[in-house]
Amino acid sequence: MNAAASTPLNPNGFPAAIEHLSQHAPFDLMEAEHLRQLVEGLNLGYYAKGEVIVSSQQGDATRYFIIKQGVVLSEQGFSRDEKENTSWELTEGESFPLSALLSKRSSSSTYTAKEDTFCYELDARDFAKLLSVSTQFQDYCTRRMAHLLEQSKQAIQAQYANSSSGQQSMNTPLANIVRRSPVTCAPQTPVREVLATMHDLGIGSMVATEADKPVGIFTLHDVLNRVALAEIDLESPIIAVMSTGLTSLPPTAAAYEAALVMAKQGFRHVLVTDNDKLVGVISEKDLFTLQRVGLRQISATIRNAADLATLQQAAGDIRQLAHNMLAQGVAAEQLTQFISTLNDLLTERIIELECHDAGIADSPLCQSGICWLALGSEGRFEQTLNTDQDNGLIFTVPEGETAEHIRALLLPVAKRINDALDACGFPLCKGNVMASNPEWCLSLDEWKDKFSDWIFRGDMPVLLNASIFFDFRALYGKRELAQELRSWLNDKIKDNRLFLRNMTQNALGNRPPLGLVRDFVVGEGNKLDLKFNGITPFVDAARIFGLAAGSAETATIRRLRAAAENWHMEEGEVEGWVEAFLYIQLLRLRLQHEQSEAGQELSNKVDPDTLNNLDRRILKEAFRQGRRIQSVLEKYFQF
């Protein structure tokens, strides 16, 4: 680096520098005195096209660079791939080398001026001082992806301010939602007295406690079934008509966790306990007072549905609820869990109805011998507003029967289930990866044979097409069949280097589309595919980490965090991957929401020119994180 090319900023230029930096994160959020402190310590450096600005050969990083004008090429030094696959551009307002400065080490990347470039430069000692006084600067430097995501989230909430005004944030701790101290009674309190108290106080539930620990809950919903219709003596103890199978959450749990419990178990209330002691009761009304469509309402409709028409309406309500939650700022991870949970319930009810109509609901086979598998994004709990079907069936073969005979019985029912799902807005899989395909309606032994072929005899193209099958999870029926298959599979994959290498090579073939000339490499119609080019690199890497560790997890985020623990990876780096994955998921959800509002066909393809500057910058950073996770994957599994 040419030190002579770097000169202190002229004080007369401070106002212009402050104005310029204020247009970029994190400087746009810094306090005025801290931003001035930064500017007063800056030098201005000039680098000619092709000149190396920072590299590992220079030793520990000594300066913090902010691009004032020009383009800088960042190249990772440890990958064996081609240069274009391991480099990306940094443009005006972006900074480097943060990781090296924070760790007080040399940079693992080489930064080169791609064209004549001017950089603001801050000495490492002044950089450290600024970190210690500016919370916003420190947050950006240590949590860059999370910091940018928070800015994006704030922008989304502002965009949807009118529709989300006053709505409860699903990230809010339950402690902040509990509106009053819980009203309790002793288990032996007469039913009559409890009903009178509930009426006088205008409350919908009563909790029986012993030593402040909940032992039962009674709600207005119970009055009809458990008291009036059952003709219970009103002098009977309340515990006799209470629900005693209690579910509770701690005060620190988020609102969305309570909502998921209500949806999964059909509850209207969730207890909040601290060290087993009751501190409050959360009702569905507390969570969804201002939402037109309630989560428990939808789940109850699904459970009680007697025909396909009711389920079709429920499917529409799921999509409406997802739109409402997106508008109020619910995070992508939570929103995809909500969507997947409700879609699971919908699928389960369709299976129940179709098995009943086929006359096999009460047969031994249907009761204990089949397991419906969710595959792909549904298997990972990562469904968006635009999702097709990926499913399969495992079945047992009773003694004296053959797999072919059982398959012949199940295929017509599976076809009806797939068609019903299609009618509810889940299109038939174009690749025919569905339980109605004989290829994916198999006995447990046949599934093991199928996976054996992929693991031990399958080449890279075969594994590429089979990858979504490794994300299977049980959705309905005899879950032990899926558990046995997963346990068997993990044992076969463990230490299978050829399989892991082939999976890794397939994963590395799909690079995040960062451009050398433009920000992004776009496809037909100037579009980026946020699913294939965006989240798939993270999904593929997480799958390989999970399979190599013998994990039963299928969700991408859980797989990544488990990998961090198994391989002692740096937590901050892994969280960067997680945040990048979640941002791309959020962008997909926003895109599909906007397409739905405009009456357009839902897709995962976006024109990057339609994104605002903040979203373009975050998407670039998310794709860089995708490149980084692939480099780590290559390092671990290219043996």
**CATH number, domain containing residue 243:** 3.10.580.10
Q: Are the C-beta atoms of residues 262 and 226 closer than 8 Å to each other?
A: no
Spatial CB neighbours of 577, under 8 Å, sequence gap ≥ 6: 538, 541, 560, 625, 628, 629
- Strands 52-54 and 184-185, how do they pair? unpaired
* Residue 410 counted as domain residue: yes
In this prediction, residue 130 carries a pLDDT of 95
How high is the pLDDT of residue 202?
79
Domain boundary residue among 258, 288, 318? 288
SS (H, E, C) 251-283: CCCEHHHHHHHHHHHCCCEEEEEECCEEEEEEE
Rounded distance between C-alpha atoms, residue 507 and residue 636, angstroms:
13
**Helix, strand, or coil (residue 2):** coil
Residues found in the chain: 639
**Mean pLDDT of the region 416-423:** 96
Does 302 map to a domain? no
What is the distance between the alpha carbons of residues 262 and 250, in angstroms, rounded to a whole number? 15
pLDDT tens-digit map of 127-163: 999 999 998 898 888 776 666 666 666 666 555 544 4
Burial class (CB in 10 A: 0-12, 13-18, 19+), 514: buried
pLDDT in tens, 90-119: 889 999 998 889 888 898 889 999 999 999
- Contact between 9 and 39 under an 8 Å Cβ cutoff? The reply is yes
**Is 232 inside a domain boundary?**
yes
My answer on whether 186 and 91 are in the same domain is no
Query: Are residue 472 and residue 363 in the same domain, yes or no?
Result: yes
Please determine, for residue 167, whether its predicted confidence score (pLDDT) is greater than 70: no
Least confident among 59-73, 258-272, 418-432: 258-272
DSSP 228: I
Contact yes or no for 41/63 (Cβ under 8 A): no
Give the range among 100-109, 321-330, 508-517, 531-540 with minimum mean pLDDT: 321-330
Percent of the chain scoring above 90 in pLDDT: 52
Identify the pLDDT of residue 86.
57
Note the pLDDT tens digit of each residue in 58-89. Answer: 999 999 999 999 999 888 654 434 444 456 78
Instruction: Write out the residue range of the structural domain in which residue 539 sits.
Output: 143-167+308-639
Supply the pLDDT for residue 311.
Answer: 94
**Domain shared by 193 and 338, yes or no:** no
Report the distance separating Cα 467 and Cα 225, nearest Å: 49
440, pLDDT greater than 90: yes
pLDDT of residue 78: 41
Ramachandran region, residue 621 (left: φ > 0; alpha: ψ -120 to 50; beta: rest): alpha
Residues pairing with 520 in the sheet: 514
Task: Enter the pTM of the model.
Answer: 0.70
The whole-angstrom separation of Cα 211 and Cα 604 is: 54
Residues 249 and 347 occupy one common structural domain: no
What pLDDT score does 571 carry?
83
Both 619 and 509 in one domain: the answer is yes
What average pLDDT does range 352-357 have in this prediction?
93
Please give, one letter per residue, the 3-state secondary structure of 495-542: CCHHHHHHHHHHHHCCCCCECCCCCECCCHHHCEEHHHHHHHHHHHHH
Q: Quickly list DSSP for 439-506.
A: GGEEEHHHHHHHHHIIIII--HHHHHHHGGGGG-EEEEE-HHHHHHHHHHHHHHHTT-HHHHHHHHHH
The answer to whether residue 413 scores a pLDDT higher than 80 is yes
Average pLDDT, the chain: 87
Same domain membership, residue 111 and residue 147: no
Instruction: Name the residue type at position 417.
Output: I
Which residue among 260, 288, 316 closes a domain?
288
Together in a domain, 358 and 452: yes
Indicate the SS3 state at residue 72.
Answer: strand
Give 575 or 289, the one with higher predicted confidence.
575
Q: Is residue 147 located within the same domain as residue 105? A: no
3-class SS of residue 370: strand
| pLDDT tens per residue across span 580-622 | 999 999 899 889 888 887 878 889 999 998 988 788 888 988 9
Q: First CA to last CA across the chain, in angstroms?
A: 36
Beta strands in 141-268 (DSSP E): 184-185, 205-210, 213-219, 248-249
pLDDT at 280 > cutoff 80: yes
Dig out the tokens for 511 from the structure: 């690079």
**CA-based nearest residue to 416, from 474, 477, 352, 369:** 352
Structure tokens at 497: 């280097």
Distance CA 244, CA 247 (A): 9
How many structural domains does the chain have? 3
Residue range 283-306, pLDDT digits in tens: 887 776 434 456 777 888 899 999
- 298 within some domain: no
Confidence of residue 335 (pLDDT cuts 50, 70, 90): confident
pLDDT at 232: 86
Any idea what the CATH number is for the domain that residue 62 is in?
A: 2.60.120.10
Query: How high is the pLDDT of residue 163?
Result: 45
Return the closest-CA partner of residue 447 out of 417, 481, 413: 481
Q: For the chain, what percent of residues have pLDDT higher than 70?
A: 91
Q: 476-508 pLDDT, tens per residue?
A: 999 999 999 999 999 999 879 899 999 999 999
- Identify the pLDDT of residue 360: 85
Query: Stretch 224-250: mean pLDDT, rounded?
Result: 88
pLDDT at 470 over 90: yes
Q: Are residues 280 and 318 in the same domain?
A: no
Give CA torsion, residues 171, 175, 176, 180, to 10 deg: 140
Give me the mean pLDDT over the 458-462 stretch.
Answer: 84
506 plus 424 within the same structural domain: yes
Q: Do 575 and 430 have their domain in common?
A: yes
113-117, 321-325, 525-529: segment of lowest average pLDDT: 321-325
Last residue of a domain, one of 288, 319, 353: 288
Predicted local distance difference test score (pLDDT) of residue 245: 83
Residues 449 and 575 in one domain: yes
Please tell me the predicted confidence (pLDDT) of residue 555.
Answer: 94
Say if 624 falls within a structural domain. Answer: yes
Confidence at residue 5, expressed as pLDDT on a 0 to 100 scale: 63
- Among 47-56, 392-401, 436-445, 574-583, the range with the most confident prediction by mean pLDDT is 436-445
At residue 459, the pLDDT reads: 83
Contact present, 392 and 441 (Cβ < 8 Å): yes
In a domain, 297, yes or no: no
- Give the separation between CA 392 and CA 441, rounded to whole angstroms: 6
User: Coil, strand or helix: which one is 92?
Assistant: coil
49 domain-assigned = yes
Q: Cα–Cα distance between 27 and 137 in angstroms, integer?
A: 7
Instruction: Please indicate whether residue 54 or residue 25 has the higher confidence score (pLDDT).
Output: 54
Q: Which two tokens stand for residue 230?
A: 């059952």
